Structure 1
């Protein structure tokens, strides 16, 4: 369905809910949309993330603080908070933000329950603990119950916990606002704004009048060929940054006051060192839009290409529920496996020459860095990335050469971000 029709259906089904519980509906917006598109796998996946947060969040938070020391903001400089997923998904962007001359006047903090905290500290970031106001078990459990209530479409409004969730969400936002003030935070930079904790942080930024910058996550954002809406609109932060002209074209109409930019994420300075083949899985596979049969056809194509080049295939998985099963299947082809949350995209790209995958942000980044990159997904074009069928994989690797990336004269994210921050 196109977005206009989708937006009307959303209004018809959820307008009463949004009016009665505005904070809860803001936090649950992504899941309301997924429910409307009948993608319960997205909701169930995020409920599992919530469970992990309840069980392991406090441990990760305490370790990130550096036991037994209590985290304090000891710097007199105003602080900028960068989401840990942003730093690891776009390490080139984060490096340019950190190395920019304007960054010297600010303290750069990372937030989020990331097990990369030691590496992030070595990179020069300090840890901004948002756990106490944001990841408390009481709110997380109520939120999980609310997500479950969404899947019972006809009975959603009959759940008696909505008033309690609204109150707990209000308390969470207030606690976050206080925490941001204690951190002397002047700006927050996120990778997304649709996870429950990101939505709550966005609300806190609005309450504290702190600019919330978001780098567009997920690409493509819709499928122009099928006029399909993926349900990730509209944008709720203050300024949105798009990595390509096509991404900007898709998203800018839905950004209020046109606070949307098409930016060069980073300067292309990386050299392609590896000779192997990298296959990148994506959320398309994770939520079941591509089945085992299609994945098997892809693996056979990758194996044929590897035999032709006499090289190794690396499959980069997301950390989803069926990870063990998928790794075992890949290993039967003698493929090497890596997992998104254990190794950065930067490292996987450095170690390989050819890159294949299902429609995703990572494919566009690979293209920008000069890798021969191909989209095996059945939907969604990616600017500059050729879409091919699995049986064509071995053909394309036999005649393509490594490029130096494309010339991109757009202003970098770092330049626009720091200019907007300094101008207030």
Structure 2
């Protein structure tokens, strides 16, 4: 028998191999929904897929290969749906709502793409280039849709198609992230509200959103916290600062789950036991990192006592300030996406951060409306949610392509459409 013929698998063997690969990808999808993909091992995947570790290695040599294959499967299915539905056509911008509604029905789609988009901002991540190309293509396609919609008279607002494409993709990403922390965030509904304004209608009122965001007691972002940083001798405080700084660097590159305490301790030049003497657990260290990030990047956190108009017009300056600390922006994007899983120790911190941010900016827009400075028909709760989502999404795109996305400029462009001069 010809050796080349012998190497060709039989139809049954080929079908079995395809079925096993699909089982592995199904398991990876389940884990991505439950805990995020960062830090998942091949042994965990094998166990979830019901096969041995050596058996899994016959199909995938690394978790990176699994991840890229899972992305490809989701993208292929999504592209097929878009082609079959025919939503990209003469209806222009209205297609975005339909696509968002479809995405929400696909198990794991929003969780996987939202968390991975944040995690892959690190240039060392295996999916980094894939997401960079994806955003570049998305901006181009969306800008073309807006141009067609403007030419067809579907968009009555004065917009620059390219800028509107950048901002729509950004807000969409940010809304999906918020929805993983608070199910009251209706992504298709919020997109529909924004597109309604572009076509000449008033944005719908989101009183329910504001009420739901304000309901309930405040979550404690410091649960399992980092202890009192003012205690102890100066040497001890300095050591804690070293540990936090090293954790910031490593968490930004590899995420919380993908970084071990041993790696952090090694970077500082201490033992793991010494690290645990200063921080009782990895969860406590994470909270200290999140607090330090907000202290060092105050532009992303609402500040009390600032006049509403001054705050609104100063947001672009805050974005410029954040851009001077790209490592902190990357840290935020990585951890905010990874913490979307309810089991993650950072989940309560970010859920509370989004809740407080929405309430604060809702009050800001309400004050602007009372002064006659908010565009007619705009709803403060809607605008607050959109603004937070837009800022997060713009920072995400900026991390992939800083030359193509100017966060401060795009925020200014958006606010000029919302605030009456």
Higher strand share: 1
Higher helix share: 2
TM-score normalised by structure 2 residue count: 0.27
The structure showing larger relative contact order (alpha-carbon pairs under 8 Å, at least 6 residues apart) is 2
Q: Which has more radius of gyration? A: 2
TM-score normalised by structure 1 residue count: 0.27
